[in-house]
Amino acid sequence: MGCETVCSENPNPAKALFFLFLLVMIGGLVLFSLAHATERHGDMVTEVCSAPIIHQAFRQWDNRQANVCQLPDGRFGIMVCEKDGGLVTCFIKEKMKELEDVLRYLQNRGYQ
């Protein structure tokens, strides 16, 4: 009975500090990743996501869908989404000037 009172009143502070440290580290990594993506890619995400989708391809082994968009200036963007619609990544294929080049790129990566 005495041990229960002492143990409940004096929890192990090392466990709590470790848990707090782990949360701070994970939070810092997430914030660093978001800041890096914004700094490196800028408004590209908005530009690609707002362009009309002209082709969709699906990759069965990871249940991802690639949406090909054509930007107003003629470049092609690709949005990769999870099965539930969550955005995984998006990017612009600067060197690909024809839709066939983009479709070949996706096919080489397993999309159909």
Residue 104, pLDDT > 90, answer yes
Query: For residue 101, is pLDDT > 90?
Result: yes
Share of the chain above pLDDT 70, in %: 71
Over the chain, what is the mean pLDDT?
Answer: 79
Strand order in the sheet with 53-59: 53-59, 64-70, 76-81, 87-93
Q: Can you tell me the distance from the alpha carbon of 79 to that of 57, in angstroms, rounded to the nearest whole number?
A: 10
The more confident residue out of 38 and 109 is 109
Contact between residue 45 and residue 57 where contact means Cβ atoms under 8 Å apart:
no
Alpha carbon distance 11, 1 (integer Å): 16
**Residue from 95, 8, 87, 96 nearest 48 by CA:** 87
Residue type present at position 1: M
pLDDT at 92 over 70: yes
pLDDT one-digit tens code per residue, 55-83: 999 999 999 999 999 999 999 999 998 88
Burial of 60 (0-12, 13-18, 19+ CB in 10 A): exposed
Q: Is 56 helix (H, G, I), strand (E, B) or coil?
A: strand
